[in-house]
Amino acid sequence: MEPASSIFKPMTSDRVRTLFNRIAPVYDQLNTWLSLGQHRIWKQMTVKWSGAKAGDTCLDVCCGSGDLALLLAQAVGASGRVMGIDFAAEQLAIAQQRSQQHYPVPPLTWLEGDALALPFADHEFDAATMGYGLRNVTDIPRSLKELHRVLKPHAKAAILDFHRPSNAQIRALQQWYLDAIVVPAAQQFGLTEEYAYIAPSLDRFPTGAEQVTLARQAGFVSATHYPIAGGTMGVLVVMK
């Protein structure tokens, strides 16, 4: 089988949008199957680390099909408010549909928008999350600066994403899993290229330590990166 990285093409903003629109119908199904359901635990950890609490106004950037935003809505309760923003309209449509299946309907608003130019005022949110979005933006420093801008003073954000583990054996296992399991699974849905991009995107994604540096350069007063799942995942927790 051809390695995933060998068929990867450089990602532009338009290509990322097209990619996530195309995978929207099977995104949740594949996430659950390929992570053996563990992505739900990682997302619960992310919301906990964001510090979201009852009555808060929260933001989920690159919300996709809405998992983190729905968890934030549970955390803030009826007295709170959650905004989910993504630039992939097909993902937002699924998120909207999923939220309507809950009763009572959670305090959620879905918006189509760009993580690099958030359509919100300064100091608007008490907490924020981002799941599998930072790795896909075309300008990571700008995305972090925008997140910093819209958070209230002392507010936290928690950013979950794939990572390349520092352990060589675990990294080799991760690469095998991507090439031998993830891409063939996606191929069944006609989405080979859409999932082949993961491996090269990991190669260029800043390490946890580099993310901490970028977060501080964006203005955050504290930043800590927590490796999880053997370093194949990680959560960057920042405070304004």
As a whole number, the mean pLDDT across the chain is: 87
- Stretches where the chain sits below pLDDT 70 are 1-12, 15-16, 19-28, 33-34, 194
> How many CB atoms lie under 10 A from the CB of residue 212?
19
Cα–Cα nearest to 150, from 126, 183, 180, 166: 126
In the chain, the number of structural domains is: 1
Percent of the chain with pLDDT over 90: 59
Kindly list the strands in the beta sheet with 125-131, ordered across the sheet, starting from the edge strand earlier in the chain: 108-112, 81-86, 57-61, 125-131, 151-162, 233-239, 222-228
**Residue 4: its pLDDT value, please?**
34
Q: What distance lies between CA 143 and its chain's CA centroid?
A: 12
**Residue 6: its pLDDT value, please?**
34
**Residue 206: its pLDDT value, please?**
93
**Residue 184: its pLDDT value, please?**
84
CATH of the domain at 214: 3.40.50.150
Long-range contacts of 92-99 (CB under 8 A, 24+ apart): 92/63, 93/24, 94/24, 94/25, 94/27, 94/28, 94/65, 94/66, 95/63, 95/64, 95/65, 95/66, 95/69, 96/66, 98/65, 98/66, 98/70, 99/66, 99/69, 99/70, 99/73
Task: Answer for the pair 72, 1: CB distance below 8 angstroms, yes or no.
Answer: no
Show the domain range for 140.
4-239
Distance CA(158)–CA(129), nearest Å, equals 5
> How many CB atoms lie under 10 A from the CB of residue 234?
22
